[in-house]
Structure 1
Amino acid sequence: MPAYDDLMAFQRTTEALGQVAGRTGWDQETMMPPGSAPQRAEEMAALEEVLHARRTDPRIGDWLREAHAPDAVGDANLREIRRSYERNLKVPARLAAELARVTSLAQGQWAAARKAEDADAFRPVLAEVVRLRQEEGAALAEGTNRDAYDALMQDYEPGGNAGEMAAMFDAMRPRIRAIRERALAADPAPTLTGHYPRAAQLALSEEIAVAFGYDLARGRLDLAVHPFSSGSGTDVRITTRVDEGDPLNCLYSTVHEVGHASYEQGVEAEHLLTPIGRGVSMGVHESQSRSYENQMARSEAFCGWLYGRMRDTFGDIGVGSERDFYRAVNGVGAGFIRTEADEVNYNLHIMLRFDLERALILGDLDVADLESAWNERFLADFGFAVDRPSNGFMQDVHWAVGLMGYFPTYSLGNLYAGCLMAAARRDVSGIDAALAEGDPSPATGWMRERLQRFGAQREPTETIRHATGEDPSAEPLLTYLEAKFGDLYP
């Protein structure tokens, strides 16, 4: 199998360089001096030029024609290499480098404009990002039956179809709204009070991260404006953020990112620095973070344990029982921020972003009109008005860094999480008893064994089907939400 072996050796170097580029992005969001942004943009563009050249090297085409995979794992590696090769051949090197340069600059400009509540300062660079992504989407869609948005979405959810996702969202929306309306009509959940020092929040976050399986010998926890996970294999880093009046933001952001990181750390060592040595899609990735954050860490069992640890760490937190703490953690309320949204409202935030970014890429909405379109849609969906840009269309980093096609994978991840946790509870006894002791390992161990260790060996829907034994469906998620919040808001 000389062609296969040569191709895999070449790909290993490409994968390693991709990890270097990712770590450079991590540094930009966590430690880079603010004055370094222009030079960093040039560095990122240079790295992208090198990577694009490798990903479109004519020898890959020759190797793919000649290669014979030794087994099913080899077949999966060839599938992923072929997909990447055919995709990157459609994108000119000039466009790939320009996207890397502009999105690197846009990230810093977004952060500064967001802090200053200056939408006018952000619009020009966002318009440039959208223009470049429209160009890329058109190039990727050429010769296919996809439109530009569907073509971009393949980078995040291979096989995904925006029309099918829109229909799924339409079917989910009435039941989600019914849960929301019932909760909002009931007495509000209690809230935490007090002061929660940064160092203590980070120490407890690290303790919880380890409990959920995060290996700090192969990772680290830092602060960022927008929490994220980065890397794969033996170097997987996570970030969180701290508000000294709201410890739940820090703790649950950490658990969310640990879900992502555990997927990457859980891939079997033999797959590292190969095309399948990472999560198969952002929807499947999100299934891990949302099951860890919501169905495990926000469960009544785990909240009972966490209540004790919170009181040990911070003293009086303003709620007097495990049940009230559980209600506080899962309070349904009116809020602007997606990352702080409860489980009921969260998917409504995603549906808004999905519709708007799809309209941007397809040319049905101009960047100049995005803020007003956002504000109108938000008022219609949530019943109150956006008060400032950082609570509206400027709250997320995704559009600044060009991640159009990414947002729908969050709700798809919630759907997958519902399927996975239903199967885990079917297959493993004592999950809640262990969570009540602060031990998520029965559930996280099931995830690692049934899903994480395979990386991208299977396509996204087949990954869920293999793990659960059933086709993906929204029903387990909706049933879970109705039962949980029916109990919390009787």
Structure 2
Amino acid sequence: MTAINDLLAFQRQTEALSSIAERLGWDQETVMPRGAVEQRAEEMAAIEAVLHERRTDPRIGEWLDVAEPRTEAEARSVELIARDFSRANRIPAKLAQELARLTSLSQGIWAEARAKDAPEDFLPTLDQVLVLKQDEAAALADGGDPYDALLDDYEQGMTGAEIAALFDTMRPRLVALREDVLGAERQPQPLAGHFPQETQIRLARICATAFGYDWSRGRMDIAVHPFSSGRWQDSRITTRVVETDPFNCIYSTIHEVGHSSYELGIDDDYAFTPLGRGVSMGVHESQSRIYENQMGRGRAFAGWLFNRMSDAFDGLNITDADAFYATVNRVTPGFIRTEADEVQYNLHIMMRFDLERDLIAGKLSTDDLVEAWNDRFLRDFGVVVDRPANGVLQDVHWAVGLFGYFPTYALGNVFAGCLNQAMRDAVPDLDASLAAGDAAPAVEWLRENVQRHGGLKRPRALIEEATGGDVSPEPLLSYLEAKFGQIYGL
């Protein structure tokens, strides 16, 4: 009894310190002065040193040897602590500290290079990050596949080979659908005009409220790359504004509300334990994508949004709700992953997955990355990348060392497809609520079946229990074919 209590009490402090480190990351991407980058890098390195020391504390091993969990939650907590203890002990403290320092510094260098369209200013730093991540992967893999070791940080139990097989299954139908859509005679009209930042932010807040965001435990700020951060009683969102494209702000906001609502929806009893966070990035992404796409870009909510936007911007060049719904879901060749339509989004992820696997395996160098990116983009999307900010510099993930993260976006879409099918069966009148700007019935279903569990269940088991079936890309692909077939008259 003493061992389990001591173990969980020790973990509670580690979780609190980890939350502080996460808050520092939020601050860096939102309100930190630009001139403080080097100081923040040292601060992040210092707190990572403390966290690594705690995660490898020999007492954890002693407690694990004799701990006797009394509940399902305690048993799962012990499992997760043991997993983290094993992984942390494979990584040298100096490597963990240097990764924290360099990735904090690299983030600022990436942002500057992106603003200037100057990959040459960033790639040398990226190469340093890559070397450290290769060292980390080798240490974690212990003779196994290095990329799998990194992927396991974000999606426990998933392998690169499984992801590749999933993508091979999905790609032909996605490519065929894209070709049919882009070649269709019926093409939605684009939204045009000038949409002031202040009005966009006000409307984004209205949408966040419609999707149940708890403003008493959150806030919204502007960032270069939208993200959410935090857990338990404090989960914050960010968005970005392009004054010619209000959908960027609105749907980025809804997307991040999905992430944040997951964290805020976890059972309060799991706070400051390993169960008090989303179980995997794939499950996390399922929440953000189902909020953004299956609900936010659905016909019912789009009709409500059309009226709000028409009022907010004193009219639109799109004059009716049906045409607006088509415009919201308009498929166009584009460079930016975060702005990609549902048909093409996963193709962006498949490209990044292949490139980062080659980077970690040493088959691709950072010197050749720009050319490799541009060649692959042309091959996959039929478009020549016009500038680095629209190409290799568009995502922050590699700058901050998140190798193995990208495939979880597509996996999240697959999970969202399964959840949407089950949710629609369970809440047959959902569209009536969404048409009134009220996502509460969906939010409640997702909270009950997914969010409240936090890390209690393994990712695949959680989705299968929530949906009552096996995880499969079929619901997602069928949903996309039906939705875009109707919009484009296929």
TM-score between both structures, scaled by the size of structure 2: 0.99
Alignment of 1:53-64 (within 5 A): 53-64=53-64
Show the counterpart of 2:405. 406
Which position in structure 1 is the counterpart of 2:331? 332
Determine the structure 1 residue equivalent to 2:25.
25
- List, as ranges, runs of 4+ consecutive aligned residues in structure 1 with deviation greater than 4 Å: none
Q: Secondary structure at the match of 2:128?
A: helix
Aligned to 1:48: 48
1:89 correspondence with 2:89: yes
Rounded to whole Å, the distance in 1 between the matches of 2:116 and 2:2 is 57
Superposed, 1:442-453 pairs within 5 Å as 442-453=441-452
What is the distance in 1 between the residues matched to 2:232 and 2:68?
26
Partners of 2:231 and 2:172 in 1: CA distance: 38
- For 1:76 and 1:431, locate their aligned partners in 2 and report how far apart those are by CA, in whole Å: 34
Give 1:183's aligned residue.
181
Structure-2 separation of matches of 1:416 and 1:335: 25
Q: Distance in 2 between matches of 1:345 and 1:178?
A: 11
Q: Counterpart of 2:309?
A: 310
State the secondary structure of the residue aligned to 2:485: helix
1:382-439 alpha-carbon deviations (Å, 9 max, x no partner): 0011011101011000000000000000000000000001000111120111111111
CA distance in 1, matches of 2:44, 2:188: 46
Q: Structure 1: which amino acid aligns with 2:238?
A: T
Q: Contact (CA 8 Å) 1:194, 1:316: kept in 2 or not?
A: no
Deviation at 1:188, TM superposition (A): 2.6
In the TM superposition, what is the alpha-carbon distance from 1:25 to its structure 2 partner? 0.3
Q: More deviation in 25-34 or 432-441? A: 432-441
Say which SS state the counterpart of residue 236 (structure 1) adopts.
Answer: strand
2-side partners of 1:82 and 1:210: how far apart? 39
Q: Where in structure 2 are the equivalents of 1:234-273 lying within 5 Å?
A: 234-273=233-272
Structure 2 residue 79 is the aligned partner of structure 1 residue 79:
yes
Q: Deviations over 1:225-278 (max 9, x none)?
A: 000000111010100001111100000000000000000000011101100011
Partners of 2:191 and 2:390 lie apart in 1 by: 22
Q: 1: distance between equivalents of 2:57 and 2:187?
A: 59
Structure 1 alignment gaps of length 5 or more: none
Aligned: 1:153 with 2:127: no
Whole-angstrom distance in 2 between the partners of 1:478 and 1:195: 35
In structure 1, the residue matched to 2:7 is 7
Partner of 1:168: 166
Q: Residue 279 in 1 paired to residue 278 in 2?
A: yes
Counterpart Cα distance in 2 of 1:363 and 1:167: 22
- Aligned partner of 1:160: which letter? M
Per-residue deviation at 1:286? Answer: 0.2
> Could you tell me whether the CA contact under 8 Å between 1:229 and 1:261 is conserved in 2?
yes
1:70-219 superposed matches below 5 A: 70-142=70-142, 146-186=144-184, 187-219=186-218
Deviation string, structure 1 residues 307-331 (Cα, Å, up to 9, x no partner): 0000111112210100111011000
Q: Which amino acid aligns with 1:49?
A: A
Where 1:231 maps in the other structure, the secondary structure is strand
Could you tell me how far apart the structure 1 residues matched to 2:220 and 2:163 are?
34
Secondary structure, counterpart of 1:160 in structure 2: coil
Q: Shift of residue 466 of structure 1? A: 1.4
Identical amino acids, percent of aligned pairs: 59
Return the letter of the residue paired with 1:440. Answer: A
Question: Which whole-Å CA distance do the structure 2 matches of 1:195 and 1:167 have between them?
Answer: 44
Partner of 2:360: 361
Shift of 1:122: 0.7
Q: Deviations over 1:15-36 (max 9, x none)?
A: 0000000000000000010110
Alignment partners' CA distance in 2, 1:321 and 1:227: 30
State the alpha-carbon separation in 1 of the partners of residues 280 and 173 from structure 2.
27
> In 1, Cα distance between the equivalents of 2:383 and 2:35?
38
Assess if the C-alpha contact under 8 Å between 1:428 and 1:443 holds in 2: yes
Matches within 5 A, 1:332-411: 332-411=331-410
Q: Give the CA deviation at 1:160.
A: 0.9
Query: Could you tell me how far apart the structure 2 residues matched to 1:260 and 1:99 are?
Result: 25
Q: Which residue of 2 aligns with 1:301?
A: 300
Query: Paired residue for 1:481?
Result: 480
Task: Tell me the alpha carbon deviations over residues 122-162 of structure 1, each in whole angstroms, 9 at most, x when there is no partner.
Answer: 1100000000000000000015xx31100001110000110
The residue type paired with residue 94 of structure 2 is R
Q: Which amino acid aligns with 1:126?
A: L
TM-score by length of 1: 0.99
The secondary structure found in structure 1 opposite 2:277 is coil
